[in-house]
């Protein structure tokens, strides 16, 4: 996705990528393939999901050094002192020209261990409040998580904001309906399942101050 302010020419390339623990359809864990894909996409910002093994001790599957050397992206660590990359499997990677001003993470409600990472970024044309997340599979909990995210972006005041990630919503709007008025919900194309994509589970939700395609 590329996004920009309506009155500003600079565009920003943002990618959302559920790397599924770096395990491919061949059932091999190969982080180098993930890095290659990101290098090819060349995003300014990458919002990543399932960046750890998802089982204790939840080891990171991406190397910050490899990401920087081969994809030109700085891998952020929102693990809140837990000593691993990612928060409930979520993290953000930034190109060198994107300045990080603040980084935080929150738990999302529901039985599944889900969370969101939040970054305040300085861009050439001003600040952006970015939320990266992987929402619950169960619709009831997904609606609860969306309600929490609505509170989060409302707390950003008049700041431009962007929510990106694997939102696990197969319908065009569905549980994302609280964002349907005012904000824009952009699908990222059919993304699930990898072998035979049928549902646009990856989405971008843009504040009224942003345009994107």
pLDDT in tens, the chain (213 residues): 666 555 554 688 999 999 999 898 888 999 999 999 999 999 999 999 999 887 777 788 899 999 999 999 999 987 755 556 788 999 999 999 999 999 999 999 988 889 999 999 999 888 999 999 999 999 999 999 999 999 999 988 888 999 999 999 988 899 999 998 788 998 767 776 777 667 778 899 999 878 766
Residue 30's SS3 state is: coil
Residue 150's SS3 state is: helix
Residue 174 CA: distances (Å) to CA of 104, 163, 185: 27, 16, 11
Q: Is residue 5 part of a domain?
A: no
Angle at 86 between CA 155 and CA 169, to 5 degrees: 65
Q: What is the pLDDT of residue 110?
A: 84
Q: Is residue 4 part of a domain?
A: no
Q: What is the pLDDT of residue 196?
A: 66
| DSSP H or E segment with residue 176 | none
Where residue 74 sits, what CATH number does that domain have? 3.60.10.10
Q: What is the pLDDT of residue 149?
A: 96
Q: Helix %, strand %, coil % for the chain, to 5?
A: 20, 35, 45
The token pair that represents 143 in the structure block: 């609606």
Domain total of the chain:
1
DSSP state of 56: T
Q: Is residue 75 part of a domain?
A: yes
Q: Is residue 1 part of a domain?
A: no
Do 188 and 200 meet the contact criterion of CB atoms below 8 Å apart? Answer: yes
Structural Rg of the chain based on CA atoms? 16
Q: Is residue 201 part of a domain?
A: yes
Beta strands (DSSP E) in 55-183 are 74-75, 91-94, 99-108, 114-123, 126-134, 161-166
Q: What is the pLDDT of residue 213?
A: 61
Q: Is residue 183 part of a domain?
A: yes
Q: What is the pLDDT of residue 127?
A: 93
Q: Is residue 50 part of a domain?
A: yes
Q: What is the pLDDT of residue 41?
A: 95
Q: What is the pLDDT of residue 117?
A: 95
Q: What is the pLDDT of residue 113?
A: 83
Q: Is residue 112 part of a domain?
A: yes
Q: What is the pLDDT of residue 85?
A: 72
Name every residue whose Cβ is closer than 8 Å to that of residue 208 and which is 6 or more positions away in sequence.
182, 183, 184
| DSSP H or E segment with residue 186 | strand 184-187
Closest by CA position to 96, among listed 130, 73, 78: 73
- Which structural domain, as residue segments, surrounds residue 124? 11-212
Name every residue whose Cβ is closer than 8 Å to that of residue 190 and which is 6 or more positions away in sequence.
197, 198, 199, 200
């Amino acid at each position: 996705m590329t996004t920009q302010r309506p009155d500003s020419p600079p565009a920003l390339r943002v990618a959302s990528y559920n790397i599924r623990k770096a395990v491919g359809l061949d059932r091999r864990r190969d982080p180098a393939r993930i890095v290659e894909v990101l290098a090819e996409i060349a995003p300014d910002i990458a919002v990543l999901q399932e960046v750890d093994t998802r089982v204790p001790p939840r080891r990171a599957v991406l190397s910050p050094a490899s990401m920087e050397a081969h994809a030109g992206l700085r891998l952020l660590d929102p693990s809140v002192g837990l000593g691993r990359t990612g928060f409930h499997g979520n993290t953000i990677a930034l190109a060198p020209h994107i300045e990080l001003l603040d980084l935080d993470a929150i738990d999302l409600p529901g039985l599944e261990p889900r969370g969101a990472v939040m970054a305040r970024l300085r861009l050439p044309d001003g600040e952006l409040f970015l939320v990266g997340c992987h929402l619950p599979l169960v619709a009831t909990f997904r609606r609860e998580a969306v309600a929490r995210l609505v509170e989060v972006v409302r707390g950003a005041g008049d700041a431009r904001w962007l929510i990106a990630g694997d939102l696990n919503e197969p319908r065009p709007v569905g549980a994302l309906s609280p964002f349907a008025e005012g904000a824009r919900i952009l699908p990222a194309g059919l993304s699930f399942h990898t072998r035979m994509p049928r549902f646009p589970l990856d989405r971008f939700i843009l504040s009224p101050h942003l345009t994107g395609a």
